[in-house]
Amino acid sequence: MSIFQMTKTVVKSLFSRPATLMYPHKPAKITPITRGHVKIEPSKCITCRLCQRKCPTQAISVDPKEKSWEINQMRCIVCSACVDACPTKCLTMETQYRPAMTARGGTEKYMVAGPKKKEPAASADGAMPAKE
């Protein structure tokens, strides 16, 4: 009985279309909600480290002293938690997929602007405050 079921499956597979796409030859469909990879705009980042705290795989590391933002693409699961947590919206989710990697690594490091320094407030008469 099992030989007949197997023969039925083989014949059905011979005359049906493949279940998968031929990806390199036919690109995948991209929709507005496609999650490709995380992209940062370094000029907006304030090194608050919320993205680092929200990342479930610890793929993101932020160093406020060096003013650097780093992501390990091999650990990133493209869950968009960091994008949702970012208060300045410097992180975005791109719809394009990254090219395949041939070696271990995949770490990208960016130098960011960091928090804005506050200017000393001017007094009411317009004179600058005296330094001690």
Domain boundaries, the chain: 31-111
Each residue's pLDDT tens digit, 89-98: 999 999 888 8
Q: What CA–CA distance (Å, rounded) separates 116 from 100?
A: 37
pLDDT exceeds 80 at position 25: no
31-111 is a CATH 3.30.70.3270 domain:
yes
Dmax (CA) of the chain: 99
Q: What is the number of alpha carbons within 13 Å of residue 75 lying toward its C-beta?
A: 14
Each residue's pLDDT tens digit, 110-125: 998 877 766 666 555 5
Sheet (strand 107-111) strand order: 60-63, 68-72, 107-111
Q: What CA–CA distance (Å, rounded) separates 111 from 13?
A: 53
Burial 19-33 (b: 16+ CB within 10 A, else e): eeeeeeeeeeeeeee
pLDDT reported for residue 44:
92
| Greater pLDDT, 23 or 125 | 23
Tell me the whole-structure pTM to 2 decimals: 0.66
From the number of C-beta atoms within 10 Å of its C-beta (0-12, 13-18, 19+), residue 126 rates as exposed
Q: What CA–CA distance (Å, rounded) separates 125 from 82?
A: 45
pLDDT reported for residue 50:
95
8 Å CB contact between 91 and 59: no
